[in-house]
Structure 1
Amino acid sequence: MKTKIFVDGQEGTTGLQIHERLALRPELELIAIDPAKRKDTAARAACLNAADVAFLCLPDGAAKESAALVTNPNTCIIDASTAHRIDPAWVYGVPELGADYRAAIRTSKRIANPGCHATAFALAVRPLVQRGLVPADFALSCFSITGYSGGGKKMIADYEQTPLPEALKSPRPYALGLMHKHLPEMRVHTGLVNAPIFSPVVGNFYKGLTITVALPLRQLPVAPSPQALHHALTETYAGEKFIRVLPFGDEGVLDGGFLDVQACNDTNRCDLAVFGHADQAVVVARLDNLGKGASGAAIQCMNLHLGFDEGAGLAV
């Protein structure tokens, strides 16, 4: 018997990618809803409760409404919105953050899919906080650069105009009120006392993302070396299929001195790198914001929960 899957909100960027990827897997049966009834509560409830796994690819408010429609205790919900990412009743969907995260994903019926920036930040910072290299109360700051697909359909349409408006040709900082919606999960799932100062930038390319965390090493209590940071990441993620810690001090990881933001595109991989010297370092995390940062992460969680190979249908 095939496993039944329903994607509530498959018309959006993440929902469409999940639907397209899962349609290729013969062990799964995708539940279809009549397009005319996508907003019909009873029709949606029927599809949600008929599914073994239901993906919610909706705005926060709509995701909460859909979750409330699920009365079948056997239906696992994987919510791609920000609505439940720090809710203690929901499991955070990044298995690489620890054995407890992976075990909970296997057993929970409520899984919150992480944000793209937050995934990269947590994978880069959590091991350093856990090992005492960065104090939990240290004032961290980071910036990101990301492709425009993370902004959804409207932003994609804006960037794909012909001709492209001059204002969209250059990188554009945003969320300048310092209240980005990923900040709560960035704090909670790294163990930080305070959220970092976070400055994201959107660029004129479709997908790909890096976050960069700056560390003034001499101001940290244990004054770690860049090599110590690299060792902590390497040891933490040893054996993780989708995490690659790039060699320290190897110019081969750069392209003429530049880091390629899009090198993880079309994979479910996150690359981590440390650069710097005795006084200062930066920790960089790179991923596909539509892959490990969205649909790929959701499918990885589904695979884990259903007992499939964790990497089924996902590229490294």
Structure 2
Amino acid sequence: MAFKVFVDGREGTTGLQIIDYLSSRKDVELLEIDPDLRKDPRERQKLINQSDVTFLCLPDAASRESASLVTNADTCIIDASTAFRTHPDWVYGLPEIAPEQRDLLKKSKKIANPGCHATAFVLGVHPLIKAGIMPPDYPACCYSITGYSGGGKKLITAYEQLHTPSLDSPRHYALGLVHKHLPEMTVRTGLTAAPVFTPVVADFYKGLAVTTFVHTRLLTKKVTPADIRQLLARYYQDEPFIRVFPFDDANNLDNGFFDVQGCNNTNRADIFVFGNPEQMAVITRIDNLGKGASGAAVQCMNIHLGLDEATGLV
């Protein structure tokens, strides 16, 4: 018997990609909504409560509204907005963050899908704090470079149809240092204060890499880049979607340059450590539409339904 799945907000980038992941699967029946009724609360409520899993691919306020429509205790909600990512009643949809996370995802009917920048940052930093090497009050600084698809339809249109010379160069944004992913970046790593974070959007469709800077003099003990790499490799050694690359391997770079798009069209996260005994850079690379959004949501659905979590993903 196929699992019934509804995508509330299927017109956006994340919703469309979830549909793309699921449309060819024989174990999933996609519930369709009449386009004229896609904003009708009654019709949405009906489909939500008919489903085994509903993905919410909506702005925060609309996600909260849809979540409030659930009356079927067997319906699992996987929300892709920022509305519930630090809420204590919602399980964070990053299976790799802790050994018990998959069990929580199986049991919960409320799953908050992580943000793209947050996913990359948390994967690189959380193990260091959990191991006690990076103190919780560490003054973390990081930046992310990302493809323009992360900005949704409006930004995609700006780059692909209304392209002006100003879009040729990478562009910093959120320079008030209050990006919407900061709360989960703080809570889900175990930091006591938000990192200083600047995202940068560039003229390519998708691909993302978050670079976190590490001053070894501020850590709790003396470690080398190779030590940090080994710690991360041990932490993720059994994870099917995470690869921790060898330290100081020339194959990590393309003629000395880092390839931000190396995980595109996958649900992988690649982690690298660069630097020297005084300063390091931990870089986590993902596809912002894959492990950073739709792929992660499908992975959480698979886990919740008791399926192989890699089903339909690469």
TM-score of the superposition, structure 1-length normalised? 0.98
Q: Which residue of 1 aligns with 2:21?
A: 21
Native 8 Å contact 1:60 1:82 kept in 2:
yes
Letter of the structure 1 residue corresponding to residue 261 of structure 2: Q
Q: Post-superposition shift, 1:224?
A: 1.7
- Alignment of 1:253 onto 2:261: no
Q: Which residue of 1 aligns with 2:115?
A: 115
Native 8 Å contact 2:143 2:212 kept in 1:
yes
Which secondary structure state, in structure 2, belongs to the residue aligned with residue 152 of structure 1? helix
1: CA distance between counterparts of 2:280 and 2:22? 40
Which secondary structure state, in structure 2, belongs to the residue aligned with residue 15 of structure 1? helix
Native 8 Å contact 1:125 1:190 kept in 2:
yes
Equivalent pairs, count: 314
What are the equivalent positions in structure 2 for 1:1-316 lying under 5 Å apart? 1-161=1-161, 164-315=163-314
Which secondary structure state, in structure 1, belongs to the residue aligned with residue 100 of structure 2? helix
Unaligned 5+ residue runs, structure 1?
none
1: CA distance between counterparts of 2:121 and 2:203? 22
1: CA distance between counterparts of 2:197 and 2:223? 23
2: CA distance between counterparts of 1:278 and 1:232? 15
2: CA distance between counterparts of 1:105 and 1:195? 26
Q: Post-superposition shift, 1:199?
A: 0.7
Deviations 1:143-185 (A, max 9, x none): 01000000000000000026x2011000000000000000000
1: CA distance between counterparts of 2:167 and 2:151? 13
Native 8 Å contact 2:209 2:283 kept in 1:
yes
Q: Post-superposition shift, 1:228?
A: 1.3
Which secondary structure state, in structure 2, belongs to the residue aligned with residue 99 of structure 1? coil
Letter of the structure 1 residue corresponding to residue 110 of structure 2: R
2: CA distance between counterparts of 1:146 and 1:27? 33
Letter of the structure 1 residue corresponding to residue 22 of structure 2: L
Q: Post-superposition shift, 1:205?
A: 0.3
Which secondary structure state, in structure 2, belongs to the residue aligned with residue 310 of structure 1? coil
TM-score of the superposition, structure 2-length normalised? 0.99
Q: Post-superposition shift, 1:253?
A: 1.2
Native 8 Å contact 1:133 1:229 kept in 2:
no
CA RMSD of aligned residues (A): 0.7
Native 8 Å contact 2:138 2:218 kept in 1:
no
1: CA distance between counterparts of 2:54 and 2:301? 9
Letter of the structure 1 residue corresponding to residue 20 of structure 2: E
Unaligned 5+ residue runs, structure 2?
none
